Structure 1
Amino acid sequence: MTTEAPPAGEADLIAALDRLLRWRRDVRRFRTDPIDPAVMEALLATTAHAPSVGNAQPWRIVRVRSAAARAALRAHVEAETERAAAAQRDAARRARHRALKLHGLDAAPELIAMFSDEAPAAGHGLGIATMREALRYSTVLAVHGLWLAARARGIGLGWVSILRPEAVAALLEVPPEWQLIGLLCLGYPVEEQTRPELERAGWQAREPWRDRVFER
C-alpha cells in the first residue's frame, strides 16, 4: 500500500496533462523506427491501471508480430477503405475519401489488436447485469490510458476503424467471446500536430465543445 500523496491539484501536473491532451492526436503517418522493447513493455503495463467495471479487467491485447498477419490485416483494411470510398454519394466525395490517409499499417513498427472479453472470469459479473457494454467501455479506457502513456513518451497511436471486427477476429484466431475494440498502430510520428489529420485535410473541423454540453 502506497503512502505517497496523490498528485491531484499540482499546477505543473495539470498544465502537463492539458498539453498532453492537446497533443494526443490520431497518428496515421509513422516513421519505421522500432520502439525499444522495454518502452513497449512499459506501455502495455499501463493498461493495468485502467478502471474497469467490477474490476473485471476485460481487455485482451494481441500483438501482431508476424509479417503474414500484418499483411492480411492491411489487405483487409485497404479493401474496406475502398468499399467505404465507393459508397460515398458523389464522385467528388469519393475522390476526397480516397485521398485521405486512414491508417499507418504500412509503416508503424507496432500493431496491436485490442479486444474486450465479453465473459471474463474476473469481476464475477458485477456491474454488468443491466449494462453489459460496460465491459467494452472499460477496454476503451485501457486504450486511452495506453494512448496517453505513449504520447507522453513521444510515441503516436493510430486507431484503425475501417474494418470488420469479425474478420479481424478470424484473422487473429481469438476466442469467440472476444469483441474487437480497436486495431492500433504505434510508432514515432513523421510530424507533430495538434490539429486532427481529418481537420487538416478539410474533411471535418473540430466543433465547439460547448455544443456537446446540455443541461436538464
Structure 2
Amino acid sequence: MTRLARALSTGLLALTVSANLSADTGSRLWATGGVTSVGGAAGGGLSPWALLGGYASDEEWGGTLTLSRAETDDYTLSVVGTGVTWNNRVELTLARQTLDLDSLVFTLKNGFGLEEDELVQDVFGLKVRLAGDALYSPWGQWSAGLLHKRNREFTVPDAIGAEDDSGTDIYVGGSKLFFAAVMDRNLLVNATVRGTKANQGGLLGFGGDRNDSYEAMFEG
C-alpha cells in the first residue's frame, strides 16, 4: 500500500492533465479557482484548498467540468468531475475516480481469487468559505469542507481488511496569495488539515483491523 501511495503521488504531481472550464466568464482573477483535486474539490491536485472552483464573485454562480488522468509505470488514475459554486461562498462537487489495476490482475486472480481489474469510487463534496479572501485579506481565505466517498465495488478492499465501503473526510484549509513574492512571481501558500479513515484516499476502503479511527493529516 505504501508503494501504491508513492506511485500515485508521483504520477499526480508530475503527470496530471486537467481541463477546468468555467460556466461563465466570472468576475474573479484568472487562476484564483485553483485546479480540481482528485476528490473533485477546488485545490492543487492531491489536496483541497480554501479556494472555491470557478470564477463566480459574491453575486454570481459558477461551474466547473474536469477530466484528469495520471499515469505511472504500474497504475493509471482517471477522474471525471463537475462542480457548482454559489456567490463564492458554497461549492458542491461530484467526482468519479477509476484506478486501473492491470499490473496487479495476475496477483489478485491467483493470490486472492479476485477478478477485478479496477477500483472505482464516487466522491460527493461540500465546501463553505468561512472568512477572508485569498488575495486581499491579510490572513488569507479560510474554508471548511467534507468529502463523502463510496466504493462502487468493495471486493478488493474487503479482501485486504478494510472495515467499510464508504467514509467521510472532514477538512479545514487556508489559502493566501502573495503578489510578486518570489522573483516578481506570485506565490500561493495553502495549508489543509484533514480528518480521515480512508485507505489510499478511499480507493481501498475505510478503516481496518489495526485502526478504525479518524486520523488527522496535514497537507500543504
Using structure 2 for the length normalisation, give the TM-score.
Answer: 0.25
Compare relative contact order (CA 8 Å, sep 6+) and give the higher one, 1 or 2. 1
Q: If each structure's helix is expressed as a fraction of its own residues, which one has the higher value?
A: 1
| Largest Rg, 1 or 2 | 1
Using structure 1 for the length normalisation, give the TM-score.
Answer: 0.26
